[in-house]
Structure 1
Amino acid sequence: MGVIVRLPLASGLLSGKLRLDQQFSEQDHRHYNRDGDAFHVGETFNGLPYAKGVELVEELKNLLPADTDMVSLALRWILDHPQISTVIAGSGKPQQVISNAAASDLPALSEELHQQLRDFYYHKVRQHIRGGI
């Protein structure tokens, strides 16, 4: 049986488009649950403090293969795991749905890139996650 992945883009962090000065509407969980005030802190930005998450994504961009954007990399990385059957990525526009679905047609990431991403997670990300791993 496969696994369904929710929040694969870490509440938008892995879109690569969020900025430190980003403002979210009052109805957006990224505004009112940034620090776990409304529900589990791990549900927003996958438990990363917002500023640290933006910083880490900027660093992560250095690992992007040519002609690959952050969203495609994140979704393809998830799809490369055989346990995964479904990825539910949010989208506000029809083009985002099309782009998200297209990630399944991309070739698998190289083992070298998978190793770089594992190293990045264990050495730079993991220690900043709040709410349990």
Structure 2
Amino acid sequence: MSCCSKGYCDFKFPEGPPLVDNSIQNLNATYQFLPYGSLLQEGEVVRIWMESGKTKTVILEQKLSLEVLAYGFRVSDDTFEKDLPWQLIAFDSGLDYEDMMHWRTHPLFNAQMLPVVMVYQHPIEPKPTLKDHWLSFLYKMRNLGHS
């Protein structure tokens, strides 16, 4: 992993599901714009990551191939009828909205590589109940004398 612009250079990702190609803005991101596509497939369990090295396991719910227009994008799948929240996609991806919408004129644009938008489903993480906290406390108290 090369050094990034924010100076987080000394971390290694632990073993686990495959990582998405680019970093995201926050671990609660629902969307991600990947300018050069991805080999990951819908339904796959993947890890999104931040430049700080933090990761989160999510499910790749949808992978939408895009056609680059003069301004903006169009989803390549003709059966897809929903409008995408482009400002949220830019925010989650850590991109400037105008840079993303003018992707055709961006210096990193590559006409041979079609961009995609990844839609992530976050697994439900149960929050510990008061009973769970109490049992954990009792377990710790019981084991204090055995250490």
TM-score scaled by structure 1? 0.26
Greater percentage in helix: 1
Give TM-score, length-normalised by structure 2. Answer: 0.25
Larger strand proportion of the pair: 2
- Give the structure with higher Rg (CA): 2
